[in-house]
């Protein structure tokens, strides 16, 4: 039987791992290669690297990080952050990434995402979605960010019934796109997986946005990684839980609780097994 | 962790490069085990290679087009027939079959059967496609490469199509995802896994090490 996946996320800035609280207040949590090897030994099922390097001068540092990590760590690596073109995807795959996630570029130029999915296969293309709850009853600007003639403009725009809006540029820019419709649209366009972050929950350690996770997991046929809000193993269990109130996610991503040693991957998995979730045990 | 305890091979292992996906991780896995492995799209290289690794991601039709264009399709079949140790991975397993329903394309025809899609196979609609993540394999344990792999081991899978074999004698392992599909094919010098050993942690590295130990070094 297929197991649920536990994925530590390493935010990388200029070659070092950091983690923000609601996208600000970055704290240094270590060297990417050391941390990746550590998580592999601990039984992480996969690793996600998000390159949050702002300066374009340092963009190549993530390629070097991926190269070094993939020489030592033999579990799947997903890399995202600042990926714009299918050429960027190729460079990361050639460096040793197994999957590449696109966020802002997928919104602005979905054709670049589709091109990469065609060239390298859907299995390596992840769409990262940063979603925030809309104000009750107050619809946001309709798809302002998208140019006229954007292929999905009518199909994906928010309306007064929308619950979550897609944000881009690291959570700074609202798009006018309904997050659920966007997930469906991207699954059709060739995404192999969704990395779904609740901006409302992220950094608060109060648990994932289970309603968001559940609705999107149920709406699409590709796997969903829940992200944002993990503060304890039981939060991960909730996100993966297939019951009425669970998140129905296929994988759960977390950063701070692992990086700062609050919980190990192994003890997290033990908690999840108690909740009848199937977990992989690593063999030496 | 499997560690090399022997002299490296004199000739490098050949990794068939037909433009499909991430080959570097396969190469890094063999290098990690102490074996030189090189990419090739030249049929002549396969004649002298001590072993052939046939990895692959993506779709069958462009893969078969590239293999035929380069003359690699025939070279792979010839090398397999001549007894060269062969390890297919993911798409590299599927392409061994006779036919793929993905794009309705003819494949290498080394292993009897057809490649089918999970979406068309009538599995539970709640199951996600691609089948992505860690799943277990029920091994028959008849082939030397898979001796000593614990029954409850998990391996990393990413695929939307699966091998449906018509000759049971090739089936070495099966995996459950909505249905039981053949996840490991093995007979004589031919081994192939639907999962990615190079992404399956230590247990995956052990499999590559077993391949070298039991098939490659015994031959050269």
Of B134 and B120, the one with more pLDDT: B134
The neighbouring-strand residues paired with B100 are B105, B115
Q: At a CB cut-off of 8 Å and minimum separation 6, what does A160 contact?
A: A137, A139
Residue linked to tokens 């009848």: A276
Instruction: Output the average pLDDT for chain B.
Output: 91
pLDDT tens digits, one per residue of A53-75: 866 667 788 999 999 999 989 99
Predicted ipTM of the assembly: 0.90
Identify the band that residue A142 occupies on the pLDDT scale cut at 50, 70 and 90.
low
The pair of three-digit structure tokens given for residue B74, joined into one six-digit string: 């025939």
Which of A3, A70, A283 shows the shortest C-beta gap to B133?
A3
| B58 belongs to a structural domain | yes
CB A193 to CB B136 under 8 A?
Answer: no
| B102 belongs to a structural domain | yes
pLDDT tens digits, one per residue of B143-191: 999 988 888 799 999 999 999 999 999 999 999 999 999 999 999 999 9
Contacts of A247 in chain B (CB under 8 A): none
Which of residues 44 through 73 in chain A touch B, CB cutoff 8 A?
45, 70-71
Q: Computed over its alpha carbons, how large is the radius of gyration of chain A?
A: 18
**Stretch A26-46: mean pLDDT, rounded?**
79
**Stretch A179-185: mean pLDDT, rounded?**
97
> Measured in whole angstroms, how far is the alpha carbon of residue A281 from the centre of its chain?
23
pLDDT tens digits, one per residue of A210-228: 999 999 999 999 999 999 9
* Nearest residue in B to A219, CA atom: B126
Angle at B144 between CA B42 and CA B181, to 5 degrees: 80
Identify the band that residue A19 occupies on the pLDDT scale cut at 50, 70 and 90.
low
CB B28 to CB A70 under 8 A?
Answer: yes
Catalytic residue among B99, B151, B198, B214: B198
Least confident among A75-84, A156-165, B128-137, B163-172: A156-165
Other CB atoms within a 10 A radius of the CB of residue B94 amount to 27
- Predicted pLDDT at A14: 84
Q: Averaging pLDDT over each range in A12-21, A171-180, B96-105, which range is the top one?
A: B96-105
Measured distance CA(B57)–CA(A97) in Å, rounded? 13
| B101 belongs to a structural domain | yes
Which of B25, B132, B156 shows the shortest C-beta gap to A70?
B25
**Stretch B36-47: mean pLDDT, rounded?**
94
Q: In terms of residue numbers, what domain contains B17?
A: 6-216
| B77 belongs to a structural domain | yes
Instruction: Output the average pLDDT for chain A.
Output: 88
- Predicted pLDDT at A281: 80
- Predicted pLDDT at B19: 75
Q: At a CB cut-off of 8 Å and minimum separation 6, what does B69 contact?
A: none
Residue % of chain A over a pLDDT of 70: 89
- pTM of the full predicted structure? 0.92
| B45 belongs to a structural domain | yes
Give the CATH number of the domain where residue B137 resides: 3.40.50.880
The neighbouring-strand residues paired with B86 are B52, B190
CB B29 to CB A74 under 8 A?
Answer: yes
pLDDT tens digits, one per residue of B48-68: 999 999 998 778 888 899 999
Measured distance CA(A93)–CA(B101) in Å, rounded? 27
CB A2 to CB B159 under 8 A?
Answer: no
| B166 belongs to a structural domain | yes
Identify the band that residue B1 occupies on the pLDDT scale cut at 50, 70 and 90.
very low
Identify the band that residue A24 occupies on the pLDDT scale cut at 50, 70 and 90.
very low
| B137 belongs to a structural domain | yes
Measured distance CA(B207)–CA(B213) in Å, rounded? 10
Angle at A32 between CA A30 and CA A37, to 5 degrees: 105
Long-range contacts of range A207-212, CB-CB < 8 Å, 24 or more positions apart? A207/A231, A207/A235, A207/A238, A207/A239, A208/A235, A208/A238, A208/A239, A208/A247, A208/A249, A208/A252, A209/A131, A209/A133, A210/A238, A210/A239, A210/A245, A210/A246, A210/A247, A211/A163, A212/A131, A212/A133, A212/A163, A212/A164, A212/A179
Which of B59, B156, B177 shows the shortest C-beta gap to A76?
B156
Measured distance CA(B200)–CA(A75) in Å, rounded? 6
| B1 belongs to a structural domain | no
The pair of three-digit structure tokens given for residue A210, joined into one six-digit string: 């289970």
Contacts of B158 in chain A (CB under 8 A): 76, 98, 123, 192
pLDDT tens digits, one per residue of B193-207: 999 999 999 999 999
The pair of three-digit structure tokens given for residue A141, joined into one six-digit string: 């600007």
Catalytic residue among A40, A45, A130, A178: A130
| Spatial contact of B89 and B63, defined as CB atoms under 8 Å apart | no
Q: At a CB cut-off of 8 Å and minimum separation 6, what does A259 contact?
A: A8, A10, A17, A19, A29, A30, A35
Identify the band that residue B16 occupies on the pLDDT scale cut at 50, 70 and 90.
very high
Counted domains in chain B = 1
pLDDT tens digits, one per residue of B172-182: 999 999 999 99
pLDDT tens digits, one per residue of A99-123: 999 999 999 999 999 999 988 888 9
Least confident among A131-145, A200-214, B50-64: A131-145
């Amino acid at each position: 039987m297929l197991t649920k996946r536990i994925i530590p996320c390493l935010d990388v800035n200029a070659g070092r791992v950091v983690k923000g609280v609601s996208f600000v207040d970055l704290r240094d949590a270590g060297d990417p290669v050391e941390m990746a090897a550590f998580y592999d030994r601990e039984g992480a099922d996969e690793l996600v690297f998000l390159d949050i390097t702002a300066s374009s001068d340092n963009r190549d540092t993530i390629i070097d990080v991926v190269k070094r990590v993939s020489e030592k760590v033999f579990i799947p690596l997903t890399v995202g952050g600042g990926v714009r073109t299918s050429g960027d995807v190729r460079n990361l795959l050639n460096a040793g990434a197994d999957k590449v996630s696109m966020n802002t570029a997928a919104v602005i130029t979905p054709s670049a995402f589709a091109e990469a999915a065609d060239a390298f296969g859907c299995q390596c293309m992840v769409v990262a979605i940063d979603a925030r709850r809309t104000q009750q009853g107050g619809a946001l600007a309709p798809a302002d960010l998208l140019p006229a003639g954007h292929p999905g403009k009518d199909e994906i725009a928010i309306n007064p019934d929308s619950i979550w809006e897609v944000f881009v540029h690291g959570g700074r820019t609202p798009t006018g796109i309904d997050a659920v419709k966007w997930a469906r649209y991207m699954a059709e366009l060739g995404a192999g997986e969704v990395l779904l972050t609740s901006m409302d929950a992220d950094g608060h350690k109060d648990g994932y946005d289970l309603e968001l996770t559940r609705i999107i997991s149920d709406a699409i046929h590709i796997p969903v990684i829940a992200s944002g809000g993990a503060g304890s193993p039981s939060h991960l269990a909730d996100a993966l839980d297939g019951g009425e109130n669970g998140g129905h996610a296929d994988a759960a991503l977390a950063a701070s609780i692992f990086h700062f040693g609050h919980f190990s991957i192994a003890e997290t998995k033990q908690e999840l097994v108690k909740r009848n979730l199937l977990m992989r045990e690593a063999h030496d | 962790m499997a560690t090399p305890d022997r002299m490296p091979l004199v000739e490098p292992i050949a990794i068939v490069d037909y433009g499909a996906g991430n080959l570097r991780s396969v190469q890094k896995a063999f290098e990690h085990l102490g074996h030189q492995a090189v990419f090739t799209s030249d049929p002549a290289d396969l004649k002298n290679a001590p072993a052939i690794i046939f990895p692959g991601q993506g779709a069958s039709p462009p893969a078969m087009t590239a293999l035929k264009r380069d003359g690699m399709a025939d070279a792979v079949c010839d090398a397999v027939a001549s007894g060269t140790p062969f390890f297919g991975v993911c798409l590299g397993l599927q392409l061994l079959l006779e036919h793929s329903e993905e794009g309705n394309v003819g494949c290498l025809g080394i292993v009897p059967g057809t490649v089918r899609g999970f979406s068309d196979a009538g599995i539970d609609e709640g199951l996600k496609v691609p089948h992505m993540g860690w799943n277990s394999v029920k091994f028959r344990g008849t082939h030397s490469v898979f001796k000593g792999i614990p029954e409850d081991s998990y391996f990393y899978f990413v695929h939307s199509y699966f091998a449906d074999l018509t000759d049971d004698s090739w089936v070495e392992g099966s995996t459950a995802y909505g249905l039981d599909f053949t996840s490991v094919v093995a007979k004589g010098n031919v081994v192939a896994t639907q999962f990615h050993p190079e992404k399956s942690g230590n247990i995956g590295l052990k499999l590559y090490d077993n391949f070298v130990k039991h098939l490659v070094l015994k031959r050269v």
